């Protein structure tokens, strides 16, 4: 298939490389031309604008930071909308508000184009290895048209419902994951308060019912006091703002998530937003 891709960062660059390896014809656009250089050596073609991508693509992908960024790529000057063809599918792997995803879907539907909100979980490692979990909102028929492409990106592709549903599922993912990071931080703080080596405590926990990927990855970073960013905490802070907004709009009580959000707010206030989310331990220590 002919694919257009925008967003060549930690997630998007390896995802694009996986599409190339799967044999698809991929064109890219980047605000910083240097971001595309390595992909060009792998066979990608560079387009002058997002609109130029849209004029030739069967499917268009975005992985950018915010809802405003997605809207700019799709509807801004020389955005996708300036070159879209009827029948194209736009797939957004960003994490944005469910309401924003629904709005974009409605605007594109009026142009004869399907929109799938398809946020991912698995981080940079999952993006490189093609093992992402992809949660998809939108029309089932549109998903089936691009399923061969998504199959090159992830090992789990689940249609969770209509437009916006993918973003709700991603919010649920972030709630569970970051709450677990906070729990690890509190466990590490309690262990230290009693004079215990958290790495030993973590080893004991890993053999029992508290075992988890979060304990393995983020707990290890806390034990080693390695706060260099694997996942920048500012991104989890952004995600929590989105999910708490969605919860407020739906009247859904999220008492644990509200407390975790306060801890993320404190982390940001300390200036640790570019550190890993394991720095939630530092918030407790402060």
- Nearest C-alpha neighbor of 236 from the set 211, 270, 268: 268
Q: What are phi and psi of 191, to 5 degrees?
A: -60, -45
CA distances from 184 to 164, 232, 258, 284 (A): 31, 17, 17, 11
E strands present in the chain:
2-6, 25-29, 45-46, 59-62, 89-92, 114-117, 120-121, 132-137, 154-161
Domain boundary among 162, 189, 215: 162
Q: What are phi and psi of 120, to 5 degrees?
A: -125, 160
- Expressed as residue numbers, the domain containing 183 is 168-285
Q: How many domains does the chain have?
A: 2
Mark whether 134 and 44 lie in a shared domain.
yes
Mark whether 8 and 131 lie in a shared domain.
yes
Please state, rounded to an integer, the average pLDDT across all residues of the chain: 96
d(CA 1, CA 168): 29
**Rounded mean pLDDT of 156-165?**
98
Q: With 90 as the cut, is the pLDDT of residue 217 above it? A: yes
170 catalytically annotated: yes
Q: What is the pLDDT of residues 97-155, one digit of tens each?
A: 999 999 999 999 999 999 999 999 999 999 999 999 999 999 999 999 999 999 999 99
The CATH number linked to 105 is 3.40.50.720
Cβ atoms of residues 91 and 62 within 8 Å: yes
Mark whether 54 and 145 lie in a shared domain.
yes
Domain boundary among 101, 133, 162: 162
Looking at residue 230, what is its pLDDT?
84
Catalytic residue among 2, 109, 155, 170: 170
pLDDT band at 276 (very low <50, low <70, confident <90, very high): very high
Mark whether 108 and 47 lie in a shared domain.
yes
Mark whether 9 and 46 lie in a shared domain.
yes
Looking at residue 108, what is its pLDDT?
98
Q: Please report the sign of the dihedral spanned by the C-alpha atoms of residue 101, residue 61, residue 146, residue 168.
A: negative
Mark whether 7 and 107 lie in a shared domain.
yes
Looking at residue 202, what is its pLDDT?
98
d(CA 187, CA 127): 30
The CATH number linked to 277 is 1.10.1040.10
What residues have CB less than 8 Å from 266, skipping those under 6 apart? Answer: 283, 286
Looking at residue 29, what is its pLDDT?
97
Prediction pTM value: 0.93
Mark whether 28 and 87 lie in a shared domain.
yes
Domain boundary among 112, 143, 162: 162
Looking at residue 43, what is its pLDDT?
97
Mark whether 209 and 120 lie in a shared domain.
no
């Amino acid at each position: 298939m002919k694919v257009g891709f925008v967003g060549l960062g930690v997630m998007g660059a390896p995802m694009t490389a996986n599409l190339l390896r799967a044999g698809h014809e991929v064109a890219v656009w980047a605000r910083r031309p240097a971001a595309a250089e390595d992909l060009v050596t792998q066979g990608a073609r560079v387009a002058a604008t997002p609109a130029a991508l849209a004029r030739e693509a069967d499917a268009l992908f975005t992985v950018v930071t915010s809802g405003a960024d997605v809207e700019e790529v799709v509807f801004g000057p020389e955005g996708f909308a300036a070159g879209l063809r009827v029948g194209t599918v736009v797939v957004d792997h960003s994490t944005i508000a469910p309401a924003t995803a629904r709005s974009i879907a409605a605007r594109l539907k009026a142009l004869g184009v399907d929109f799938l909100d398809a946020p991912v979980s698995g981080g940079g490692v999952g993006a490189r290895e093609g093992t992402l979990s992809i949660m998809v909102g939108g029309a089932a028929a549109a998903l089936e048209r691009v399923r061969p492409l998504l199959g090159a990106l992830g090992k789990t592709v689940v249609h969770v419902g209509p437009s916006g549903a993918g973003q709700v599922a991603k919010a649920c993912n972030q709630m569970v994951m970051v709450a677990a990071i906070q729990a690890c931080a509190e466990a590490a703080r309690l262990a230290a308060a009693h004079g215990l080596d958290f790495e030993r405590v973590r080893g004991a926990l890993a053999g029992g019912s508290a075992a988890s990927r979060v304990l393995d990855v983020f707990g290890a970073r806390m034990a080693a006091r390695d706060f260099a960013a694997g996942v920048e905490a500012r991104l989890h802070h952004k995600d929590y703002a989105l999910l708490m907004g969605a919860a407020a709009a739906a009247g859904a009580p999220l008492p644990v998530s509200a407390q975790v959000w306060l801890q993320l707010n404190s982390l940001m206030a300390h200036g640790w937003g570019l550190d890993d989310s394991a720095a939630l331990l530092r918030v407790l220590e402060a």
